[in-house]
Amino acid sequence: MQISGKEIIEAASLLGAGIAMGLGAIGPGIGEGFAAGKACEGIARNPNEAGLLTRTMLIGQAVSESTGIYSLVIALLLIFVV
């Protein structure tokens, strides 16, 4: 069976999508864990402000998640468009 150039491109784009998503998920994972840990420290020091701290933490996590979302968009483009 002969492997054509188009099949190699398809395989490479699927591989690239997997690598992009896997590497892109490292940064947001570390960042969100850091934010959650600091929020836990804050709540332990000042339990009265737990609601405000949780809200701020969620917003910060959603913003720091954006690099992971960009890699998700790139992976989707590689799978469905290439």
Partner 1 sequence: MEEIGKIVKITFHLFGYNITVNTETIIMSWIIMAFLMILSLILYKKASLIPNTLQTIIEPLIEGFDKLVKDTLETDDRKYYALITALFIFLFLCNIIGIIPGCEEPTKDLNTPLGYGIMGFVIAHYSGIKVKGLKKYLSEYLQPFFIMAPLNLIGELAKIVSISFRLFGNIMGGSIIIIVVSHLVHNLVLPPFLYAFFGLFDGTIQAFVFAMLTLVYITLQVKE
Binding residues for partner 1, rule: CB under 8 A, are: 58-59, 62-63, 65-66, 69-70, 72-73, 76, 80
Q: How far is the CB of 5 from partner 1 (least distance, A)?
A: 24
Residue 9 or 73 with smaller CB distance to partner 1 = 73
Are 21 and 79 in contact, with CB atoms under 8 Å apart?
Answer: no
Q: How far is the CB of 53 from partner 1 (least distance, A)?
A: 15
Residue 19 or 77 with smaller CB distance to partner 1 = 77
Q: How far is the CB of 29 from partner 1 (least distance, A)?
A: 15
Residue 50 or 73 with smaller CB distance to partner 1 = 73
The backbone region for 3, taken as left when phi is positive above 0, alpha when psi lies in -120 to 50, beta otherwise, is: beta
Cα angle 47, 30, 32 (rounded to 5 degrees) comes to: 40
CA distance 36 to 76: 28
Give me the residue label for tokens 């069976």. 1
